[in-house]
Structure 1
């Protein structure tokens, strides 16, 4: 047992330990916080009941102390409790510490092999308090924060149709949407969620897959050019993201660095765009090296090279003007000159900021980025 976390505890105590805000929707989400942890820090702000998977009470977990959860002999071990499936249920609606932050709701711990699955069961609206603050700056215009709240609510409700795992609906990372716990909440994020409580983006009466990204670099994309078949509400539109610090960017690689990062081509000799979207995002690029040719998707290049987006051109790193169709290996390496951050589909977060600055309300922002949609109460 360890005495806990004065740094994070103080913030919770100053804010008060009970939950507030408007009544949440009945939907409860299962958010995967950790999926194969060897150990996990767990604690509670107020007393909590620990139960097994069948709901039988095993005892209470004392407040303001830190405990290590781990798998031992195929069972979860937490304080004096053992079981394949343990629940930590805070009393009086207080908070539970999971891994690296306080969270609302309850905690389920499941033994999976020699690893630990940690799932935060949390009401939808309270989950959104954190998501909005994890995805946008809390000091941005309220209308932008409201747009983020409605988009995030729509996105997660759409994803409930295809849960990520039998034991959780979504994860906590930007693969789904960022959820970083209580520390990312603020008065403004709670206000944005409460002011739009239960509202979703719909097309012909159905909740849409309200994908979003940080910044498009000037123009969003049609979904069929990036991912899948056309969807009438995911159409490319001019963006208002010019104030984004990621509106334009560059990243330089030496020939040796690029050759190490791109497998299967040997020493990189040249890069040739094969397919791009109408806006210039790379769909496919051929890389020629001493071991032969290999075609990479834009997404593969973004992941392997840790680029901010697939909207880029490659030039020699020596100030020359490169061919639009072929970039040969220069002595100074390769410079990737790009724009935007993310996939470029749906709502641009920096664009929402720009539109809010221009006086748009959240409904107008959402209907600009999701064409032909309505903002309606969730059913």
Structure 2
């Protein structure tokens, strides 16, 4: 933990003081805490249901026996900074007194033992990356309702959505829409699913309608729905060209449109308006689905869809027999492959399996069983004991191109939380898969500030220097270090580490890019034996390196001196001067150096250093650069062996750096007398007159055109 995090001036930016938090646990609870999960809950204090969100998260978290304690920090921004206001709970909370009193009145939360529960109905979901995930139906619906409807809509509308989505999903189980491998997908081809959208309000709707579906004459209804019918729903045969279904007849709708979607079945915006006027979810569903009943109203048991085939299920535990959650298991048969993820109790399931020979493995480990013979309708139980959590080594490939300041990325699969820390110390989160245009696990961040960015996901951390262009990073999981690697450091001509430069690696069928870190280091992992070329992308520096495919090979790359550098070791150190111009505008520091490619470090009063390269902003000159300067105070600017301090107070400040020897050779020209074309004799006469004046002697010269 860096000391500058505890600077009192940063109290408005860093609410969580971890040393104080650890002391709080020790003194108040008598607990020696070693692990704290930061930002596990992401709440908006201005939300109308802010207190409900906090209470829901507290109940769900404390019910887990693995959680020792849960602490929320309700903090206030003493500086009243507009940039901090969205994060200041005290200032944003709509009714602070009510919020505190409701939290204080919360009853004790009973701890739920982590025991395998009775498995419910399962559904095979085709994920964006092409894998198939087996889920419990009610868990699947949490991600559907929250994606298909806004969590802020009335509860009765959300409950109508939950029942319709459950009916549609069970119909897909009975008649798979992606046969034979999956029942349903995550797009609007079936119904939308995104687990990152899960919300307490939608969860409540799923729980309060658990198991309820739409029935027509004791048969499960296929509950189609769309966003907006435009004032009148459509008959199914008019849109889908199939036989008419008696419960999908055209009806009037309270919402006039505009139309959005196919218009068959329930209109989601119509359900919203009906719920707002006080209608129950049962009334909403019976309005849009003609002659139906809700399964909860019926005395007969709910028909179970036909589930052909067998099942493979079991538990995943650690070496001590404790359940392991979120462990991926892969099942393959001929040209088919499916995946399941263990739940909080360590259980997993593969269902609807035809007879055949299967291979099952725990992804990321060497645990594997081959040649499993499954008979028609057979149920197999296979438990796994994972000695260590699955680990993997990841490689980042970087491609830069002209475009907007966007950091786009791709991971092999969707559903992975990605965190980006900016040069200003702010953190943003995305979930892989929310930008499928970059791949199954695509994601995107807005990165307008030049400097060093830090990306993290799972147990991986990467650093990347950005300077305002479009950058695409692709991550691939390797075999965990079973092959060789090439690692090294990049130095300048005087032996100092160089940060933020792109290093390329090329070989037989291999092309990768890495970025040198603050210490100049870079690495390429998971390499087969062979010869590779390691080069600095924007400099004439290349080195051939042999890798044995088993161990690490170290290389040092040294940049040549600048073309105008004086290589003599006896030469005195360079001296630079800083020229400052201030003017109204965006709170930023713009600068210019005589050449591009010089690493520049700008440290604001907060202490979070911004790393960038001269030349990243060519509009300011060949060596132009720019960094935000939103914090008033003293900024430190460093490059080569030079250090300058600059005071700013929220305006735009431009700094121009020149070598002292350059200023001397130029005679520090600050003005130039330019005459119109003169006869030669007259020009010489004027020059003699200027040379005769001590104030201008040696400052002028004669240019012959």
TM-score interval, normalised by the smaller of the two chains: 0.3 to 0.5
Instruction: Name the TM-score, length of structure 1 as normaliser.
Output: 0.48
Instruction: Pick 1 or 2: higher relative contact order, CA cutoff 8 A, min separation 6.
Output: 1
